[in-house]
Structure 1
Amino acid sequence: MNKTVLIVDDSFFMRAWLKNILQKNGYIVIGEAESGEEAIVAYFKKQPDIVMLDITLPSMNGIAALKEMIKLDPAANIVMCSSMGQKNLIMEALENGAKDFIVKPYFDQLVPVLDNVVRA
């Protein structure tokens, strides 16, 4: 498979945990970002197959970063990831181009969701 992933989360622990899960399942983590601004720069610099994007980020949140990435690349494969599983946030993310939404810490769904996104 060898699909590439950019992980965006302001928590170092969460980025390390996600990276470990992804690497164990054949994904290549080609970058990490701590903020929405860093995510946008890293996305266009590294061109990952998938972006794992947290909603709660400093300064520019994940929804704003999602909108910007989709505006510049409508084909971007972005999976939102947040501990806030409120229906309105999930709907906003999906309406603005996210391919899926995973509620933390339920990462048992992570690999199947990413596998589905890269197959689509």
Structure 2
Amino acid sequence: MEETGQYSVLICDDSPMVRKHLRETVTLIGAGSVYEAKNGCEAVEVCRQHRPQIVIMDIIMPVKDGIQALKEIVRMAPETKVIMVSSAGTDIHLKKTILLGAFDTIQKPISEIIIRDIVTRAMLETAGSTTS
């Protein structure tokens, strides 16, 4: 594990299996606190309460989709790195999320190597912007 320090992550996906897989991956690469949400409403509330440094969020979810939640999270906590995840065939949604302030995008099926790379980059960029 790299010496990048502990960081907090919110995983938001309506699939419990996806959340479990992502939790295992981010824990292995150094996440200290990992929060979970199953829809955009929960994601916004978790961000409000816990201010995670990184959010990994699906676009297509019930109650409130990832695009609406992204808009609220970026407004509330612009320093949070939001990584958007989408199913195949929704490239247009992924491009839109970058314009709305997402840090990066990932297309399903989620590759562990890609998650590690993007989360590590987000973590390093967050650490670089919070030099104390």
Q: Please indicate, yes or no, whether the TM-score normalized by the shorter chain is above 0.5.
A: yes
1:68 Cα offset (Å)? 0.9
1:85 Cα offset (Å)? 5.1
Asked whether 1:68 is paired with 2:72, we answer yes
Partner of residue 119 from structure 2, selected from 91, 96, 114: 114
Q: Quick check: 86-95 or 33-42, which moved more?
A: 86-95
Is contact 1:54-1:82 (8 Å) kept? yes
Percentage identity across paired residues of the two chains: 31
Is contact 1:22-1:29 (8 Å) kept? no
1:53 Cα offset (Å)? 0.7
- Between the aligned partners of 1:76 and 1:85, the Cα distance in structure 2 is 27
Matched residues, number: 120
Counterpart for residue 103 of structure 2: 99
- Look up the SS of the partner of 2:85 in the other structure: strand
Counterpart for residue 40 of structure 1: 44
1:48 Cα offset (Å)? 0.8
1:115 Cα offset (Å)? 1.0
Q: Which amino acid is the alignment partner of residue 22 of structure 1?
A: V
- Look up the SS of the partner of 2:57 in the other structure: strand
Counterpart for residue 22 of structure 2: 18
1:106 Cα offset (Å)? 3.3
Is contact 1:19-1:29 (8 Å) kept? no
Q: Which runs of 5+ in 2 are unaligned?
A: 126-132
Is contact 1:7-1:29 (8 Å) kept? no
1:39 Cα offset (Å)? 0.3
Counterpart for residue 52 of structure 1: 56
